[in-house]
Amino acid sequence: MEHSVPPLNDKSLLKEQTYVNGEWINAKSGKTFEVIDPASGKPIGNVPEMDRADTEAAIAAAAAALPSFRKTTGRERSRMLRKWYQLMIDNADDLAKLITWENGKPMADAKGEVTYAANFFEWFSEEAPRTYGQTIPASVAGNRVFTLKEPVGVVGLITPWNFPAAMITRKIGPALAAGCTVVAKSPGETPFTAAALAELAHRAGIPKGVVNFVTALKNTPEVGETITSSKIVKKVSFTGSTGVGKLLMKQSADTLKKLSFELGGNAPFIVFDDADLETAVAGAIASKFRSSGQTCVCANRIYVQSGIYDAFAEKVAEKVKGFKVGSGYGEGVTHGPLIHDRAVSKVEAHVQDAVKQGGKVLVGGQKLPDLGDNYFQPTVIRDMTADMALAREETFGPVAGLFKFDTEADVIKLANDTEVGLAGYFFSRDIQRCYRVAEALEVGMVGVNTGLISDPAAPFGGVKESGFGREGSSLGIEEYQITKMVTLGGMGQELQGASS
């Protein structure tokens, strides 16, 4: 689909190089890769295809910057993050245009992402000066014990394309707040937003070498291997699929790195008969169709109790009929393209599998070739069953599959019958059920009577094969710190000059 990309107010935010050691550079090999606009299929521009040597240089820059950066006070780091936050807010319009261009999400969503992303810098600018150790009553007479919170060192960050800004700031914010220096591998699909963030870091006065970006598409596995096997990098934080997470964990084993992994989900979304129907429908729309279903916390399996099933299905389908699919820059567009044709193929396969096994499409169900290769109709399917592909795998696309259930015990069993456990949602007006079900779900995050749970103030992360570690909140910074214990012996003596 042809679409007109609005010009940036500040054209210098569009960089076709990458940022290492405070400078804009190319890959040593001179190689580049093309970044494609998912809406039009046309190239946006080229960025460096970096390799092992380039990545090692970025790691060396981060290592060189560490000794002085780790000695800055929390208050100084707070001011840097605050400046970077403000620059994001000041340039929100341009950042949103870049996000829409390379990710495809509509401008309104992209603007929302910029605010969400910037808020991680604001949040961690407030945490940076407040990282307290403890004083601990010792078990041994005469000993005095306390702990220090220290930065873990150079950290490697690897992020996906679905939130081109927020997945990066959610990691860099706490890393810098803790006093770590960073090598961030930006997503091959969306490196331009990352580069714009780097330019703003430069303007914010983040010292050279503290934040370094590595760009790669074809060389991504080589870059990942370099980061995970490096003896200099002390921690890796990764957001992406469970499969890649397992690979990175194996690669990190030889150097026993500290790890935080935010991996795939398969979120159950449960509507009990006693739910407020309108609230549950609004929650399902918000959770399932945010970013066209391409978030790790999107509802994947929507379980609806039999007494409310037909009414819920009808209302959800009605809402979805009102969506407008098109270019993210288009007037009134609610849903953009998916990221690439592989994503479309997975969505199509899940729909076809459901239909083959008896699912009934209430709305959507087809690709939209007239718009382009990456478009798929927002879809609602009823009469889903547990042996369908959508029940077992994360669709990561705009398909709401509605499953019917009878009892609370049945649905908890179904909801937990998966290897992963990131987010889970349910709707009920019974307070006892709210506690019971929240406690029974095997997930890291629960939304009760809401489909939107993301908040820099709240701990984000999963259980089971959705990974470990928490981002955002007061816990987020701890992922980038070590707790050093100090025991002072020979204390507890009598005051000098005291008469015995």
Instruction: Considering the candidates 113, 189, 199, 262, report the single residue annotated as catalytic.
Output: 262
Indicate which single residue of 233, 280, 296, 391 sits in contact with ligand NAD (rule: CB under 6 A).
296
Residue 163's closest CA among 107, 195, 117, 98?
117
| Type and span of the H or E element at 147 | strand 144-151
- Beta strand 299-305 pairing with 399-405: parallel
Does residue 160 belong to the site contacting ligand NAD (CB under 6 A)?
yes
165 phi, psi to nearest 5 deg: -105, -50
Is residue 194 within 8 A of residue 170, CB to CB? The reply is no
Residue 115 near which of ligand O=CCCC(=O)O, ligand NAD, none (CB within 5-8 Å, type-dependent): none
User: Which residues, other chains included, contact 175 with Cβ-Cβ below 8 Å and sequence gap of 6+?
Assistant: 155, 157, 181, 182, 237, 480
Does residue 162 belong to the site contacting ligand NAD (CB under 6 A)?
yes
Indicate which single residue of 174, 224, 293, 401 sits in contact with ligand NAD (rule: CB under 6 A).
224
Window of 12-20, 58-66, 140-148, 155-163 that interacts with ligand NAD by CB under 6 A: 155-163
Q: What x-and-dash track marks residues 159-198 binding ligand O=CCCC(=O)O by CB under 6 A?
A: ---xx--x--------------------------------
Q: Residue 161 CB, nearest distance to ligand NAD (Å)?
A: 5
Indicate which single residue of 8, 247, 389, 438 sits in contact with ligand NAD (rule: CB under 6 A).
247
Q: What x-and-dash track marks residues 58-97 binding ligand NAD by CB under 6 A?
A: ----------------------------------------
Window of 71-79, 183-191, 366-374, 478-486 that interacts with ligand NAD by CB under 6 A: 183-191
3-state secondary structure of 366: coil
> Beta strands of 354-464 (E only): which ranges?
360-363, 379-384, 399-405, 420-421, 423-427, 445-448, 463-464
What whole-number distance in Å separates Cα of residue 415 and Cα of residue 412? 5
Six-digit token string for 260? 């935080």
- Would you call 262 a catalytic residue per the annotation? yes
The residue (of 77 and 171) whose beta carbon lies closer to ligand NAD is 171
Q: Residue 163 CB, nearest distance to ligand O=CCCC(=O)O (Å)?
A: 6
Indicate which single residue of 87, 211, 271, 297 sits in contact with ligand O=CCCC(=O)O (rule: CB under 6 A).
297
Q: Cβ–Cβ contacts within 10 Å for residue 431, how many?
A: 9
Q: How many CA atoms lie within 13 A of 213 on its CB side?
A: 35
Q: Residue 400 CB, nearest distance to ligand NAD (Å)?
A: 17
Does residue 422 belong to the site contacting ligand NAD (CB under 6 A)?
yes
What whole-number distance in Å separates Cα of residue 65 and Cα of residue 210? 6
| Type and span of the H or E element at 305 | strand 299-305
| Type and span of the H or E element at 98 | helix 92-103
The footprint of ligand O=CCCC(=O)O on this chain (CB under 6 A) covers a number of residues equal to: 7
The footprint of ligand NAD on this chain (CB under 6 A) covers a number of residues equal to: 24
Residue 121's closest CA among 177, 163, 71, 72?
177
Is residue 374 within 8 A of residue 3, CB to CB? The reply is no
- Return residues touching ligand O=CCCC(=O)O (CB under 6 A): 162-163, 166, 295-297, 454
Interface residue list for ligand NAD (CB under 6 A): 158, 160-162, 185, 187-188, 220-221, 224, 239-241, 244, 247, 262-265, 296, 394, 396, 422, 462
Give catalytic residue positions. 262
